[in-house]
Amino acid sequence: MFKSIFAGALATLVAGAACAADLPRRSMSPAPYFAAKSFSWTGVYAGLNAGYDFGTTSNSAKGVIGSVRGGSLGGTVGYNQQIQNFVIGAEGDLAAANVQGSTGSNSAKVNSIGTLRARAGFAADRALVYATGGYAGGQTKVTNGTAGSKWLNGYAIGGGLEYAFTDNISAKAEYLYTDLQPKNYGLTAVNSAGVKVNQVRTGVNYKF
């Protein structure tokens, strides 16, 4: 009798183990997936810019003084708003300049130059190609025996390429054509003078 009970219990255990082996194994839950955050150009930024400027004087100064060239170094502030792949914004900059030319005792110099422009472009993730245009102004000095200084108003148009190396830091290469409209300086050989300047610039910006 004891042998019969033991044999029945053993058979039950074997059958239970076989049924357990047939049950589906519980798989481990997959690790959670975190999608990489896409970069956005939206935000306020500030930075530095430096460039090489070259061009010519205009009106009566053109025949007396001719071309001007030199460098500039200044600061930039702006704001971008990204809508899908399109970026629109506004940017202002002001730079100290040493852009000058002379013929004999006649000379012209741009001491400072600044712009306030709209920007619009297309963003491919961290790369931004843009066009820009708006107001430009500059402090100028013309010498013809005596000297006269004027702030000239005008416009600037151009475009550039900007790339964001991190979420906060970007660098750009930019071209601007700046036309500062003539004013009367009241000098003997130079009744009026303006300046047309090509600006080839690089810059670094920090987005807040």
Longest Cα–Cα distance in the chain:
137
Rounded to an integer, the average pLDDT of 143-172 is 95
Residue 189: phi and psi, rounded to 5, are -95, -5
Q: Bigger pLDDT: 89 or 1?
A: 89
User: How does the average pLDDT of the chain come out, rounded?
Assistant: 87
Looking at residue 32, its pLDDT comes to 60
- Say if residue 204's pLDDT is above 90: yes
SS (H, E, C) the chain: CHHHHHHHHHHHHHHHHHHHHHCCCCCCCCCCCCCCCCCCCCEEEEEEEEEEEEEEEECHHHHHCCEEEEEEEEEEEEEEEEECCEEEEEEEEEEEEEEEEEECCEEEEEEEEEEEEEEEEEEECCEEEEEEEEEEEEEEEEEECEEEEEEEEEEEEEEEEEEECCCCEEEEEEEEEEEEEEEECCCCCCCEEEEEEEEEEEEEEEEC
Looking at residue 2, its pLDDT comes to 44
- Binning pLDDT at 50, 70 and 90, where does residue 61 land? confident
Q: How far is CA 6 from the centre of its chain?
A: 86
Percent of the chain with pLDDT over 90: 68
Among the ranges given (36-40, 89-93, 117-121), the one the predictor scored with the smallest mean pLDDT: 36-40
- Binning pLDDT at 50, 70 and 90, where does residue 3 land? very low
- Say if residue 38's pLDDT is above 90: no
What's the CA gap between 166 and 95, in Å, rounded? Answer: 26
Domains of the chain: 44-207 (2.40.160.20)
- Say if residue 23's pLDDT is above 60: no
pTM over 0.95: no
Give the list of residues 6+ apart from residue 76 with CB closer than 8 angstroms, or none: 45, 46, 47, 48, 49, 91, 92, 93, 203, 205
Looking at residue 5, its pLDDT comes to 45
What's the CA gap between 133 and 14, in Å, rounded? Answer: 86
Looking at residue 81, its pLDDT comes to 98
